Amino acid sequence: MKRNATSIVALALLLLGLGCEQEPQTPGPKYGVASPDTAAAYHFAVHPLHNPTKLTQAYQPLIDYLNANLKGARLSLEASRDYANFEEKYQGRKPEFLLPNPWQTLQAMKAGYSVIAMAGEPQDFKGIFIVRKDSDIREPSDLKGKAVSYPSPTALAACIMPQSFLHTQGVNINTDIENQYVGSQESSIMNVYLQKTVAGATWPPPWRAFQKEHPAEAAELKVLWETEPLINNSVMIRDDIPAAIRQQVQTLLVGLHESEQGKTILAGMETARFIAATDRDYEVVRAYVERFEREVRAVEKK
C-alpha cells in the first residue's frame, strides 16, 4: 500500500510540473485579421434621392456589401432630411464619403472632396416632367400662370435641367410660372398626383422607383417631356482618408455589376453600375451651370 501511495504522489507531482511548464492561454486579438472594433469608422452620406426611410432601404445593402469586403474600414449610411441638410454636411466636411448630384459635386470639391466614381450611366441623368394623364398641358407655354414642383433649387437633373429646358422653350421660369421646391423627388411627383401642381420635375431613377412602389398613383401619371442627358451622380471621398481605403472602395464599386449579388444591390438603387471617374469628368457640369446662371437664375441665393 505504501509503495502504491508513493507512486500516486510521484505521478501527481510529475503531472503538476508538466502543467506549470505550459504557457498560459490568454484570450486576445489575433493580429493580421481586421475586426470591426479596430477598423476605422466612416460615414457615407447620400443626397436625398428619397426620403430617409426609403433611401436606407435602397442603399443599406451597398453599405453592407462594402463592409463585408473592406479591410481596415467600416462604413455607416447617412441619410438627410432634404437637400439643404445634405449640403450643410459636406460644407462642414462631416462625412468621409459622399454620393452627391453633379452640381453638389462641384461644391464638395471646394470643401476638399474628390471624385472616385460615377453612380450610374450618363444617359440616365436627365430631367423629366411628370403630369397627370388627364392633364390639359400639351406645350411648355401651357405651364404659364401655373405651379410646377421640384425637389430643390439645387437639384441638377430634377430642377436646373428642367428649368433650362423651359427657358429654351420660351418660358420665363422667374415670372411665368410658380416654382414650388418641395424637398424630395417623391414629393415632387406626389404634388402632381394630388393636383397641387400641374407638372413635377424629377429624373428617371426616382420615377422608376415610384412606379414600383405606388403603382395605383403612377397609373394616373405620365412623362410628358424630358431633357437631354448630362453626367450622372458621383461618389466622392474626403481628402484626409488614406489612399488604401480610397482604392478599396473604388475597386469594389466599379466591380459591383460583375456579380449576381452586386446586380441585385444595383437594382435596388435603380443604378446600372458604378464607373471610375475623376474631378475632371465633372467640368462639363461647371460649364452647364455657368450658362444656366447667366441665362436663367442663380443656383443658390447669394
- Annotated domain spans of the chain: 40-124+231-295, 131-226
Torsion sign over Cα 132, 230, 295, 278: positive
Give me 266's grid cell: 444595383
pLDDT score for 177: 98
Closest of 131, 152, 159 to residue 143, by C-alpha:
131
Please give the Cα distance from 84 to 99 (Å, whole number): 15
> pLDDT tens across 118-165, in order?
999 999 999 999 999 999 999 999 999 999 999 999 999 999 999 999
User: What are 61-75's pLDDT values in tens digits?
Assistant: 999 999 999 999 999
**pLDDT higher at 29 or 268:** 268
Per this entry, what is the length of the chain? 302
Banded model confidence at residue 37, pLDDT cuts 50, 70, 90: low
Check for a shared fold between 40-124+231-295 and 131-226.
yes
Nearest alpha-carbon partner for 276 in 258, 256, 253: 253
Q: What is the pLDDT of residue 7?
A: 45
Write down the residue that cell numbers 462625412 correspond to. Answer: 95
In the chain, which ranges are continuous DSSP H helix? 2-21, 52-69, 83-91, 102-110, 161-168, 185-193, 204-213, 215-218, 243-254, 260-268, 283-295
- The pLDDT, as a whole number, for residue 302 is 60
Q: What average pLDDT is seen over the chain?
A: 89
- Supply the pLDDT for residue 36: 52
Amino acid at 241: I
**d(Cα 74, Cα 70) in Å, to the nearest integer?**
7
Q: What is the pLDDT of residue 295?
A: 97
Q: How far apart are CA 23 and CA 9, in angstroms?
A: 24
pTM, two decimals, is: 0.80
Sequence-distant (≥ 6) Cβ neighbours of residue 61 within 8 angstroms: 264, 265, 268
User: What are the E-state strand segments in 80-212?
Assistant: 97-99, 113-119, 128-132, 147-150, 178-181, 199-202
Name, in order, each residue with C-beta under 8 angstroms of 294's C-beta and a sequence gap of 6 or more. none
**Rounded to an integer, what distance in angstroms lies between the CA atom of residue 294 and that of residue 284?**
16
Kindly tell me if the per-residue pLDDT of 293 is higher than 80: yes
Beta strands in 152-247 (DSSP E): 178-181, 199-202, 221-226, 233-238
Cβ–Cβ < 8 Å for 252, 69 = yes
Nearest CA among 176, 178, 184, 211 for reference residue 197: 178
Burial class (CB in 10 A: 0-12, 13-18, 19+), 92: exposed
What pLDDT was estimated at residue 50?
82
3-state secondary structure of 253: helix
How far apart CA 74 and CA 67 sit, in angstroms, is 5
Of 18-22, 100-104, 196-200, where does mean pLDDT reach its minimum?
18-22
Q: How confident is the model at residue 81 (pLDDT cuts 50, 70, 90)?
A: confident
Nearest in space to 95 (alpha carbons), one of 76, 72, 115, 81: 76
Q: Which CATH number fits domain 131-226: 3.40.50.1000, 3.30.230.10, 3.90.25.10, 3.40.190.10?
A: 3.40.190.10
Measured distance CA(71)–CA(175) in Å, rounded:
54
Task: Provide CATH code, domain 40-124+231-295.
Answer: 3.40.190.10
225 in helix, strand or coil?
strand
Q: Taking 50 as the threshold, does the pLDDT of residue 14 lie above it?
A: no
Examine the pLDDT at 34 and tell me if it is beyond 60. no
Higher pLDDT, 300 or 260: 260
pLDDT of residue 38: 76
Percentage above 90 pLDDT, the chain:
82
pLDDT given for residue 25 in this prediction: 37
The conformation of residue 227, written as its DSSP 8-state character, comes to P
| CA 221/CA 156 separation, integer angstroms | 22
Average pLDDT over residues 234-239: 98
Mean pLDDT for the stretch of residues 2-18: 41
